[in-house]
Amino acid sequence: MAGVELRTYAFIDRMQPQAAAHVAATCQGDVPVAGMSELFIEVAPGNEIFRCADVALKAADVRPALQIVEREFGLLEVHSRTQAEVIAAGQAVLEYLGIGEADRLKPKVASSQFVTNVNPYQAQLINRWRKGNLLLPRSSLFVLEVSPAAYVTLAANEAEKTAEISLIEVRAVGRFGRLFVSGSESDVRTARDAAVAALAALEGRE
């Protein structure tokens, strides 16, 4: 569809327990659970997401957790216990827009920070606004900043798949998405590498 930009198209095959719990704790719609598949779609202009949601929900047996319209972009999340249903919903949206999955923007890592032996005072500052697990003093912390924002959800899920980490915060709305994970230094490094590799493997427009 002329004039519509596909910013994010992020399919998650199997939601991990913490990632699913974080979406459930912050969503306005249907609550997903671990083991479900999900899809995040972000478009510009933002109002176009209403029609995308209509197409997705009518095309397949999926449920929406998020439908957010902000100043520039619109974000939709749908999920199901069946991967095929989520894939079908996504394909219906792509067909409606007249584009393919490869027409999405390729995620870019804007910045990444690794902090070891987190100071108790810094941990308390972060704990005041986090929506996930508590950040414990003296643990290690990894902060990832990604554009477009919604791709950070895929990074969070992949991080949890590969290491024993705690999801502190996942912010998937706005111009940049941010992921905060903590744990032992070795586990956080493993999670970091998995998250960055998952984003690098996605094809899309530069």
Q: Which residues of 163-201 are buried (b: 16+ CB within 10 A; e: fewer)?
A: bebbbbbbbbbbebbbbbbbbeeebbbbbbebbbebbee
* Single-letter code of the amino acid located at 200: A
Using one digit for the tens of pLDDT, what is the confidence trace for 145-186? 999 999 999 999 999 999 999 999 999 998 899 999 999 999
Q: What's the CA gap between 66 and 24, in Å, rounded?
A: 10
In the chain, what are the domain boundaries? 5-103, 108-200
Check: CB of residue 143 under 8 Å from CB of residue 112: yes
Residue 72 is predicted with a pLDDT of 86
Residues 6+ positions from 31 with CB-CB distance below 8 Å: 24, 65
Alpha helices in 83-184 (DSSP H): 83-97, 120-127, 152-162
Same topology between domain 5-103 and domain 108-200:
yes
pLDDT in tens, 48-99: 999 999 999 999 999 999 999 988 899 999 999 999 999 999 999 999 999 9
- Counted residue by residue, the chain has a size of 206
126: Cβ contacts below 8 Å, ≥ 6 apart: 135, 141, 168, 169, 180
Cβ(63)–Cβ(80) below 8 Å: yes
Exposed / middle / buried, residue 47 (Cβ in 10 Å: 0-12, 13-18, 19+) = exposed
Q: Concatenated DSSP letters for 132-161?
A: SSPPPTTSEEEEEEEESGGGHHHHHHHHHH
CATH code for the part of the protein at 108-200: 3.30.70.1710
With a cut of 70, say whether residue 2 has pLDDT above it: no
Classify domain 5-103 at the CATH class level.
alpha beta
* CB of 29 closer than 8 Å to CB of 51: no
The answer to whether 38 touches 79, Cβ cutoff 8 Å, is yes
- What was the pLDDT predicted at 29? 95
Helix (H) or strand (E) holding 101, with range, is none
